[in-house]
Each structure stands twice: as structure tokens, then as C-alpha cells.
């Protein structure tokens, strides 16, 4: 059995018998006017964060969500879309698609504004998406891509890139791990399917996205996720896993490399009203400006004693230098 077959079996079981502890997210349930998320959707929220951000969802975007779970994030996306077929959900597991269809009926009963036709469910594989080229404004996946091994991960990201419109965005939440994992953990199909042993370091995660062509990367959140301890897992050391929320934007790749925002800011505190680096970055006195890591490095290299560059907070919410 391949690791992908093991993954499909695991989520087939989770569709038939909801498993509240399958994944762990510290995100509170969305509370918006008129939005009620059915309990069954909350129980089947097999994610490690959130991919739904209001600032991504203006002007009635077309939305793709891969790996439907119990339909909770599909419902949240539909809250902003509210149009027939405005949200497309893709999953390879028939039982999960059927569970989502049933959950949408519950959501219709609890939400006056919602109609099941707002979400179009399609049987499909993340490695071969049943979606046209350049047709999607916002694509999303939650706690799925970390399962894939290197070649499959590259293919899955390429597929998302293919279906996105120019300047469209891929919004994701996945576990990451800065520690090395032994081969026993890496090759355990079930632990990989459980979103544990496939976790990559953040720099490798970002590289996988920029290698495919995404010109702008935003790390929006970084949170504690899980522990692999020697008593319960085949490891000699305690392994700490976090989850990150990331947006990869299909911008043209700059000549000097991608713009990666990890939550750094620059503050000018000199004698003038502002500092202009003549490269498109103007720092108003004592006003922090979010900067990508590339710009942070260029400003630091100037060697000035009146510009402060903060460390990465791994929280970025727009308004940056690029």
C-alpha cells in the first residue's frame, strides 16, 4: 500500500466516523453576522489553522478548496461568495464528498442565507485537479500538502499554480518542523497521513512554493501544533511541530528573487522626515513599514545607524513594501 492509499483510507474512516481529535487547530470558530457552523462540521474540521481571510475574498472571487473535510471552510468561503458554484470543493475520497453534501443540508437548515448550490463538489485528485487553467482567484488547502512526499508536493503546487489566475493566491495551513526527523518517522505512512511526519522546515516549505513560480509569499501566522515524544513515537528526542498559515501569490517572479514576508518591519528614526532608498521603499520617521526579507536585508546592508530592522514575527497581514 502506498502512503497516498493509506491517507485515503484514513480519511475514508474519518468521513464515516467523525474523529474530533484527528487534527488540532487553535483557531476559534468563525463568528460573523448570520453565520452558524453546524456542530458536525466542527467535529470534522480536519485542519491545523484557517485558510479563510476576508481580505482575500473581495469582489466575488472564484474559490477552489482542495481536501473538503466536513465542509466547514467551504461554508465559510461561501459566506463571502454567495453565488451558485462560487466555491469549488475537490476531494479524492467519495465518502468525504458525501459527508460534505449531507453537512451542507444541515448548514442550509441553520443558515437562512446559505444554499448548497453555492458549493460545487468535484471528485478529483490534488495532483490532477479537475479545474481549468487560469480560472481561480483564491485556491486553498488545509493540512493536506504536508502529507505529500517531495515529487508529489511539487506536482500539487504546480497544479494550484496552473489553475490560478495571474495575481491569484494560494492560501494554506500546514504543519512545519525545524528539527530533523529520522527515516522511520518519515517513512511511516500513517504518521504522514496524520499530518505529523511529513512536516518540513519553513525555508523548505517556502522554497517549494517559489520553485514553482510564486513571486510573493506571505507567512500570516505561526502556532504550536503537536509534540512527538520518545514514549509514544519512534524518536530519541522530543520533536516540536508548529503550524503556519501562508499565502503564495501568483505574481511575476522579480529579477532579484521572490518577496517573502516573514513579519519583519523597518523603522527609520533619523533627523529627516523620511528615508527614501531610491528603490521604491520610503520609510516615514518612526512609522514601522512591513518589509519582505529581501528588502530587510538590503536596508540592513546600508549600515545606517538610524534604521531598525525587527526580527521575523512570522505574522504578516498586508501593507508591506512590495
What percent of the chain lies above the pLDDT cut of 70?
96
pLDDT of residue 28: 65
Residues 272 and 283: their CA atoms lie apart, in Å, by 10
pLDDT surpassing 70 at residue 322: no
Q: Which residue has the higher pLDDT, 317 or 91?
A: 91
Bridge partner list, 249:
169, 216
Average pLDDT over residues 44-49: 87
pLDDT of residue 20: 56
pLDDT of residue 6: 79
pLDDT surpassing 70 at residue 270: yes
Domain boundaries, the chain: 3-250, 264-309
pLDDT surpassing 60 at residue 25: no
- pLDDT confidence band for 43 (50 / 70 / 90): confident
pLDDT of residue 182: 95
Average pLDDT over residues 205-234: 97
Average pLDDT over residues 16-28: 62
Mean pLDDT taken over the chain: 93
Q: Which residue has the higher pLDDT, 17 or 262?
A: 262
What percent of the chain lies above the pLDDT cut of 90?
84
Q: Which residue in 49, 45, 78, 53 sits closest to 63, CA to CA?
A: 78
Q: How many CB atoms lie within 10 A of CB 27?
A: 16
Q: Which residue has the higher pLDDT, 32 or 35?
A: 35
**Segment among 55-59, 154-158, 162-166, 215-219 with least mean pLDDT:** 55-59
pLDDT surpassing 70 at residue 23: no
pLDDT of residue 131: 98
pLDDT surpassing 70 at residue 19: no
pLDDT surpassing 80 at residue 1: no
pLDDT digits (tens, 9 = 90+) for 182-198: 999 999 999 999 999 99
pTM confidence score: 0.93
Residues 40 and 91: their CA atoms lie apart, in Å, by 18
**Segment among 7-21, 92-106, 115-129, 204-218 with least mean pLDDT:** 7-21
pLDDT of residue 115: 97
Query: Cα 78 to chain center, whole Å?
Result: 18
The grid coordinates of residue 305 equal 545607524
pLDDT digits (tens, 9 = 90+) for 59-100: 999 999 999 989 999 999 999 999 999 999 999 999 999 999
Measured over the CA atoms of residue 41, residue 42, residue 44 and residue 50, the dihedral's sign is: positive
Contact 226, 147 (CB under 8 A): no
The grid coordinates of residue 284 equal 516615514
pLDDT of residue 223: 94
Contact 191, 239 (CB under 8 A): no
- pLDDT confidence band for 27 (50 / 70 / 90): low
Helix (H, G, I), strand (E, B) or coil at 320: strand
Q: How many CB atoms lie within 10 A of CB 174?
A: 25
Average pLDDT over residues 12-27: 67
CATH topology of domain 3-250: Rossmann fold (3.40.50)
Amino acid at each position: 500500500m502506498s502512503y497516498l492509499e493509506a491517507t485515503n483510507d484514513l480519511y475514508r474512516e474519518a468521513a464515516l466516523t467523525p474523529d474530533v481529535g484527528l487534527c488540532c487547530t487553535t483557531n476559534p470558530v468563525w463568528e460573523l453576522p448570520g453565520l452558524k457552523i453546524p456542530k458536525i462540521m466542527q467535529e470534522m474540521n480536519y485542519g491545523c489553522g484557517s485558510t479563510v481571510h476576508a481580505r482575500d475574498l473581495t469582489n466575488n472571487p472564484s474559490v477552489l478548496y482542495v481536501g473538503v473535510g466536513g465542509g466547514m471552510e467551504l461554508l465559510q468561503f461561501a459566506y463571502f461568495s454567495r453565488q451558485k458554484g462560487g466555491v469549488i470543493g475537490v476531494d479524492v475520497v467519495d465518502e468525504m464528498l458525501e459527508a460534505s453534501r449531507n453537512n451542507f443540508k444541515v448548514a442550509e437548515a441553520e443558515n437562512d442565507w446559505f444554499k448548497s448550490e453555492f458549493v460545487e463538489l468535484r471528485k478529483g485528485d490534488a495532483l490532477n485537479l479537475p479545474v481549468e487553467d487560469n480560472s481561480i482567484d483564491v485556491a486553498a488547502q488545509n493540512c493536506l500538502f504536508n502529507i505529500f512526499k517531495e515529487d508529489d508536493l511539487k506536482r500539487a503546487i504546480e497544479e494550484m499554480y496552473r489553475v490560478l489566475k495571474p495575481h491569484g493566491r494560494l492560501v494554506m495551513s500546514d504543519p512545519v518542523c525545524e528539527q530533523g526527523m529520522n527515516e522511520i518517522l518519515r517513512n511511516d505512512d500513517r504518521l504522514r497521513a496524520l499530518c505529523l511526519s511529513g512536516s518540513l522546515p519553513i525555508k523548505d516549505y517556502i522554497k517549494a512554493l517559489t520553485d514553482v513560480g510564486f513571486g510573493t509569499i506571505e507567512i500570516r501566522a505561526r502556532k504550536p501544533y503537536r509534540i512527538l515524544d520518545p514514549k509514544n513515537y519512534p524518536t530519541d528526542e522530543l520533536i516540536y511541530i508548529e503550524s503556519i498559515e501562508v499565502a503564495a501569490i501568483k505574481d511575476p517572479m522579480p529579477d532579484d528573487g521572490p518577496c517573502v514576508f516573514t513579519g519583519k518591519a523597518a523603522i527609520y528614526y533619523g533627523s529627516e522626515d523620511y528615508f527614501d532608498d531610491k528603490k521604491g521603499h520610503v520609510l516615514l520617521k518612526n512609522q514601522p513599514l512591513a518589509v519582505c526579507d529581501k528588502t530587510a536585508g538590503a536596508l540592513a546592508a546600508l549600515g545606517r545607524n538610524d534604521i531598525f530592522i525587527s526580527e521575523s514575527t512570522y505574522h504578516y497581514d498586508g501593507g508591506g513594501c512590495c
